[in-house]
């Protein structure tokens, strides 16, 4: 029998973080890497602060493989159709426990830090 669970991860993206040198939850003690159990990721609820429109870019990675956005050569964008939270369906199967989920991002804003929050909706 499976059950639906939600895990949360966040990433603080400081102002003036260049695309060539993004910040990551791998390097962060306040918002560390999320360790997931075996199961199925049904989707992500991504929350981007209002006002970050076009300034913050990010990706979601599972074991160093980009799972959002779907094209690993791109980054998620901060306007997400101008809503603060949005559900992004996905179909990622995790075969083993302690699988690493990380966020990485950069920030084009010269003045504001932004925190990206991702709720991981899973069946375990």
DSSP assignment of 27-65 equals G-SSS-PEEEPSEEEEEEEEE--TT-TTTEEEEEEETTE
CATH of the domain at 54: 2.60.120
The pLDDT score that the predictor gives to residue 119 is 93
- Residue 73's domain comprises 4-123
Instruction: Give the chain's domain count.
Output: 1
pLDDT in tens, the chain (124 residues): 789 999 999 999 999 999 999 999 998 888 899 999 999 999 999 888 877 777 888 899 999 999 888 766 666 665 544 445 678 888 899 999 999 999 999 999 999 999 999 999 999 9
Place of tokens 């990721």: 41
The pLDDT score that the predictor gives to residue 118 is 93
Contact 57, 76 (CB under 8 A): yes
């Amino acid at each position: 029998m499976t059950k639906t669970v939600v895990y949360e991860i966040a990433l603080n993206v400081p102002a003036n973080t260049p695309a060539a040198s993004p910040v990551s939850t791998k390097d962060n003690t306040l918002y560390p890497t999320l360790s997931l159990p075996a199961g199925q990721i049904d989707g992500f609820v991504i929350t981007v602060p209002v006002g970050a429109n076009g300034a913050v870019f990010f990706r979601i990675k599972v074991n160093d493989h980009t799972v959002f956005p779907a094209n690993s050569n791109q980054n998620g964008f901060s306007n997400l159709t101008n809503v603060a939270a949005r559900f992004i369906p996905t179909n990622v199967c995790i075969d083993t426990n302690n699988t690493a989920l990380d966020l990485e991002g950069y920030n084009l804003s010269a003045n504001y830090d932004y925190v990206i929050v991702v709720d991981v909706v899973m069946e375990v």
